[in-house]
Chain A
Amino acid sequence: MKIGLEIHVQLPTRSKMFCSCPTTDAPAPNTHVCPTCLGMPGSRPVLNRKVLEYGIMLAKMLGCKVADVTWFSRKTYFYPDMSKSVQITQYDNPIGEGGVYYLGKKPIRITRIHVEEDPGKTKRVGDLSSLIDYNRSGIPLAEIVTEPDLSTPAEAREFLGQLIEDIRHVIDLPGDGERSIRCDCNISVGKERCEVKNVTGLKNVERALTFEVVRQTKILKAGGKIDRETRRFDEERGVTISVRKKEFEADYGYIDEPDLGIYHIKEMADSIKIKESPQKMAARISAEYGIDQKMAKQLVSASVGLAETFEAVAKESGVQNAVKWVAGPVSAGWKAMEARGGTPDEAVGIIRRFAAGEITDTECAMEIRCAMTGESAEAAAGASQDLERIVSEYLDQNPEIVSDYAKNEKAANKAIGFVMRNSGGKHSSAEVVEAVKRLIESRMRSHGVR
Chain B
Amino acid sequence: MDRATVERVARAAHIKLTEDELRRYSDDLNDILTYFELLDEAPECDASGVNPVEVADVLRDDEPHMDIDPDLLLRDMDTYERYIRGPRLS
Tell me how far the C-beta of A167 lies from the nearest C-beta in chain B, rounded to whole angstroms.
18
Secondary structure of the A contact surface, majority rule: loop
- Residues of the A chain whose Cβ atoms lie less than 8 Å from the Cβ of B42: none
The proximity string for A residues 313-327 relative to B, scoring 1 for CB distances below 8 Å and 0 otherwise, is 000000000000000
Q: Are B87 and A22 in contact (CB under 8 A)?
A: no
Those 7 A-B pairs whose CB atoms lie nearest each other, nearest first: A261-B55, A131-B83, A80-B86, A22-B64, A50-B62, A49-B59, A15-B64
A134 to B73: give the CA distance in the assembly, Å. Answer: 12
Tell me how far the C-beta of A180 lies from the nearest C-beta in chain B, rounded to whole angstroms.
17
A23 to B62: give the CA distance in the assembly, Å. Answer: 11
A258 to B52: give the CA distance in the assembly, Å. Answer: 10
Interface positions, chain B 27-66, Cβ under 8 Å from A, are 49-51, 54-66
A178 at the A/B interface (Cβ < 8 Å)? no
Tell me how far the C-beta of A256 lies from the nearest C-beta in chain B, rounded to whole angstroms.
4
Q: Are B12 and A263 in contact (CB under 8 A)?
A: no
A339 at the A/B interface (Cβ < 8 Å)? no
- A residues sitting closer than 8 Å to B (CB atoms) are 13-15, 20-24, 28-35, 38, 40, 46-50, 52, 71, 78, 80-81, 122-124, 127-134, 250-251, 253, 256-258, 260-264
Q: Are B81 and A130 in contact (CB under 8 A)?
A: no
Q: Are B82 and A257 in contact (CB under 8 A)?
A: no
Q: Are A46 and B58 in contact (CB under 8 A)?
A: yes
- Residues of the A chain whose Cβ atoms lie less than 8 Å from the Cβ of B79: 30
Q: Are A262 and B55 in contact (CB under 8 A)?
A: yes
- Residues of the B chain whose Cβ atoms lie less than 8 Å from the Cβ of A48: 59-62
- Residues of the B chain whose Cβ atoms lie less than 8 Å from the Cβ of A78: 14
- Could you jot down 12 A-B contacts, CB within 8 Å? A15-B63, A20-B60, A20-B65, A21-B64, A21-B66, A38-B73, A78-B14, A123-B83, A127-B88, A130-B85, A261-B51, A262-B54
B84 at the A/B interface (Cβ < 8 Å)? yes
Q: Are B50 and A131 in contact (CB under 8 A)?
A: no
Q: Are B87 and A130 in contact (CB under 8 A)?
A: yes
Q: Are A23 and B64 in contact (CB under 8 A)?
A: yes
Tell me how far the C-beta of A20 lies from the nearest C-beta in chain B, rounded to whole angstroms.
5
Q: Are B58 and A250 in contact (CB under 8 A)?
A: no
A50 to B63: give the CA distance in the assembly, Å. Answer: 10
A22 to B56: give the CA distance in the assembly, Å. Answer: 25
Tell me how far the C-beta of B4 lies from the nearest C-beta in chain A, rounded to whole angstroms.
13
Tell me how far the C-beta of B13 lies from the nearest C-beta in chain A, rounded to whole angstroms.
9
- Residues of the B chain whose Cβ atoms lie less than 8 Å from the Cβ of A40: 73
CB < 8 Å neighbour of A30 from B54, B58, B82: B82
B19 at the A/B interface (Cβ < 8 Å)? no
